[in-house]
A and B are shown apart, each in its own frame.
Chain A
Amino acid sequence: MEDIKKLARELLADNKVQLVLGFENGTANRVRPAFFTTPEAVDKLIYNEFCIQNIALYLKKDICQHAASLAITANPNVVRSILQLAAENQIKEEKIKIIGITHEGKCVGLLDFKAAEEFSKTQPKGLKDEDKALIEKIQAMSLEEKFDYWVEAFSPCIKCYACRASCPMCYCGKCNVESNNPQWIPVAPHKYGNMEWHMMRAMHLAGRCINCGECNRSCPVDIPLNILSYMLSDFVLEEFESEAGLSAVFTPALSSYTMVDKENFIK
């Protein structure tokens, strides 16, 4: 943790960045994301096993957008998010300094995009055992069973949109779900309306999701959204040999066409 702080302090002191995005202690033994703008403020910066929130989310918020340059304490999830955001033209390399932190919490110093790509390839995605078990269970289902499973799984959704709010890839200024002319997605949280909302979200993330699992963590009714995204990512990898979050120059599978694309999903 000390080396992270030292780096952050230096960056601010040397005017290399205007802002450091990281964590600090919150109330009641919790950690919370924080923005540091002076070397002195960095005293409060922390990084420990509780700092799991994907703070790449804040890169698209006004405070970061308005900063001319910034640094971020970046665990593998954050690094993958940054690369994907860069691939989607949402952040420029000149503007961001990545303080790389491995999944074991070890600081690896500053990463440029090239180093970040290498870093990403070596870091595991951190799927929990219970996630793996659930994936296996769903994969064993027939098409109808799968459909029923998800309709059921989505039924408790209260449409609070916490999943959207916590997702670093959900950066659209105006989300479809808010459009009422036409009203693509019904507002009321009923079974099929929920299904429409989650299908839309899943499709918009297909081939772009970097599998940080934030959607699931933020969901107040515990819908395994991360599993849905994870299975889609797996499918995209298998069918199109394409994986999000590994490169800053990347065209997601749904935005590209190549002669070698398999078409065996057309049944």
Chain B
Amino acid sequence: MARIGVFICHCGENISATVDCPKVSEVAAKFPGVAFSTDYKYMCSDPGQSLVVNAIKEHKLTGIVVSACSPRMHEPTFRRACAEGGLNPYQCEMANIREHCSWVHEKGDKTDQKAIDIVRMMVEKVKRNNALLPIKVPVTKTALVIGGGVAGIQAALDIANAGHKVIMVERDPSIGGHMSQLSETFPTLDCSQCILTPRMVEVAQNPNIKLYTYAEIESVEGFVGNFNVKIRKKAKSVDETLCNGCGMCTTKCPNKKNPNEFELGMGNRPAIYVPFPQAVPNIPVIDKTQCTYYKNGKCKICEKVCQPKAIRFDQEDEIIEVAVGAIALCTGFDIKKTDFFPEYGYGKYKDIIDGLQFERLASASGPTSGEIRRPSDGQVPKKIVFVACAGSRDPAKGIEYCSKICCMYTAKHAILYKHKVHDGQAYIFYMDIRAAGKNYDEFTRRAIEEDQAQYIRGRVSRIYERDGKLIVVGADTLMNAQTVEIEADMVVLATAGVANKGAEELAQKLHVSYDQHKFFSEAHPKLKPVETNTAGIYLAGACQSPKDIPESVAAASGVAGKIACLFANSELTREPLIAMVDRQAPPMYSSCTGCFLCQPVCPYNAIEREEVKDRNGNLVRELAFINPGLCQGCGTCVAVCKSKSIDIEGYTNLQMYAEVDALLNS
């Protein structure tokens, strides 16, 4: 016989101001199977918990219903109390009469009745609870870091320095990400390469880190602690073990007129190339789409000049399989290109560039050796216009969010411009100056006060060319929306930060969720900012939303901390609230028909095929089996299974039915 205890909490006045708690307790005491019922001011307080523990012992309770706040708040607390009282912790249910009742209703009989109904439902449920044991799974103490931008670098170094193995997979020929393209960085104006390259070298030298560049994720299977990952290492056409990075090949390659991606098309590179001088690793790759040999079957000059004989034209993509326990997603972001803007000429004006291109112009290692010269004719622009929020905060363009970094880097650009072109004038069209952060507002003030950037509050409606000048037409909303026209020599669009190419496919491979803009979603915007919804997969940096360097690095260290915690034990304990497929004695074996229509619906790939064999080893049946390490207990399979062969522990069909029944038949 069930002996259920009911504990009604007042939550100070949160509940009791609206719900008549003593009355609810009185009514609940008469429910069939309830052996004890009481109310108390703060059930989660120490004395409150003792009340629960003692009542379990004294009244020989078999299950408890704590009628209080959301299980999201205190379920763990009361499960522990339940265990302390000597019961299985899963013999405890929370009846949420706060969020679901007192907070959303006025005081009155109906509200009391609703609280009573909620309690009744949970009493009926808990009577049918099973004792459950936590699930243990082993942990592979190696982390996979996807993306070698500043976020990935930081995460990899931190995890490696905590003593764990790290595998880093970078899509480009070199690690470094966008930060390696930047000139100076706000708010301190220190040189980006100077602070980044030591970190890059550290990654290459750290014995705990295995680096795969020019590589991508092919597939991911498994679950927290036990992922199996296939990495596609694209053919570089160079034997990395032999190449000594002398650079003969890149100097001698006759096919030099290929648009340079690192310089965003503002320069050329050979068909065999290292993206930038400080690249890590300093090993060239052959761009097969451009190489003369791959196109015409003739050339092979690089092969001839390569002293260590490292060129391999017949090299093929390699698939590498690794086992990892945790994954850090650090794949960064991208920015909209100028061709996104019809009003600014769809990218047809050469002297309208984006922010990253300006970074390259300002960079000492860039195509102009750090002189600000416009792309069309190499002239030094004397009047330059910066357009902030180009695309951002513009629902009409489908990007309603703020890209966050542009206000700051535009101020930086105006400062760098003034430092380089003393007689030049910078104008900045902006919507708001968003400079929240340590020393950030001071930085934008500096652009205005010391470097005479002229800020104009308003959007630019149109840019067109007239007599070799770019005519920028905008409105000054602080001057009665007066039309402003500036004859500029060059325009820099602070274009919206967007999700990186391939983000969606990657998210689907990893089964992590992403938002409508294809940025990866965190598990909780406040309390789980670096976790994804999939256990064991974390995210840091600009792949989550546009972020600046300090934020990306902080998140990356956060991820490293999380992973170090995960790796601190050799076994993981998971909540046993997962799906189970029915099993019975032969000849039935299970009510599962083996249709496997449940398999494709599982968002976590948790459903496997189990073969039932007779004593002679003949296959008798194929049945669905749910991998307890993978299942997250979402319940989708339960809804799909026609024979109702699947039950979620803690939320079985029987329990749910009893709840509904208790509600309808009250």
Taking beta carbons and an 8 Å cutoff, which residues of A are in contact with B?
Answer: 88-90, 171-176, 179, 181-182, 184, 204, 251-252, 254-257
Contacts and interface: CB of A to CB of B under 8 A. Distances in A.
A89 B621 CA distance: 11
A88 B591 contact: no
Contact of B642 (A89, A172, A181): A172
A89 B653 contact: no
B601 interface: yes
A155 B597 CA distance: 32
B658 interface: yes
B643 interface: yes
Nearest to B590: A173
Given A181-B654, A182-B653, A182-B658, A173 B594 contact: no
A148 to B, nearest CB: 23
25 contacts: A88-B593, A88-B596, A89-B594, A89-B596, A89-B622, A90-B593, A172-B591, A172-B642, A172-B643, A173-B593, A173-B643, A174-B588, A175-B643, A176-B642, A176-B643, A181-B654, A182-B661, A184-B657, A251-B597, A254-B597, A255-B597, A255-B598, A255-B600, A255-B601, A256-B601
A254 B640 contact: yes
B595 interface: yes
Contacts of B657: 182, 184
Interface in B333-364: none
A251 B600 CA distance: 8
A174 B643 contact: yes
B644 interface: yes
Contact of A89 (B595, B600, B643, B644): B595
A86 to B, nearest CB: 11
A4 to B, nearest CB: 31
B591 A174 contact: yes
Contact of A204 (B598, B642, B653, B658): B642
Nearest to A200: B642
Contacts of B594: 89-90
Interface in B648-666: 653-654, 657-658, 661
A182 B600 contact: no
Given A90-B595, A175-B643, 11 more contacts: A90-B594, A172-B591, A172-B593, A172-B643, A173-B591, A251-B600, A254-B597, A254-B640, A255-B598, A255-B599, A256-B600
A173 B658 CA distance: 25
A156 to B, nearest CB: 25
Q: Which of B588, B598, B653, B661 has the most CB of A within 10 A?
A: B653
B654 A182 contact: yes
Contacts of B653: 182
B216 to A, nearest CB: 21
Interface in B595-638: 595-601, 622
Contacts of A182: 653-654, 657-658, 661
B56 to A, nearest CB: 28
Q: Which of A89, A175, A252, A254 has the most CB of B within 10 A?
A: A89
Contacts of A252: 597
A88 B599 CA distance: 11
B601 A257 contact: yes
B536 to A, nearest CB: 23
A88 B595 contact: yes
A251 B622 CA distance: 18
A251 B601 CA distance: 10
A225 B654 CA distance: 30
Interface string B173-196: 000000000000000000000000
Contacts of B622: 89
A209 to B, nearest CB: 13
A257 B657 CA distance: 28
Contacts of A254: 597, 640
7 closest A-B pairs by beta carbon, nearest first, are A182-B657, A172-B643, A255-B597, A174-B591, A88-B595, A204-B642, A89-B596
Nearest to B637: A255
A90 B591 CA distance: 14
B640 A255 contact: yes
B643 A88 contact: no
B147 to A, nearest CB: 24
B644 A176 contact: yes
B604 to A, nearest CB: 14
Contacts of B600: 251, 255-257
A257 to B, nearest CB: 7
A144 to B, nearest CB: 23
A182 B661 CA distance: 10
Contacts of A257: 600-601
Nearest to B596: A89
Given A88-B595, A89-B596, A204-B642, A173 B654 contact: no
Contacts of B661: 182
B17 to A, nearest CB: 37
B486 to A, nearest CB: 44
A154 to B, nearest CB: 20
Contacts of B643: 172-176
A205 to B, nearest CB: 9
Contacts of A251: 597, 600
Q: Which of B597, B601, B657, B658 has the most CB of A within 10 A?
A: B597
B504 to A, nearest CB: 9
Nearest to B653: A182
Contact of B597 (A88, A173, A174, A181): A88
Contacts of B640: 254-255
A176 B646 CA distance: 12
A73 to B, nearest CB: 25
Contacts of A256: 600-601
Contacts of B588: 173-174
A256 B591 CA distance: 22
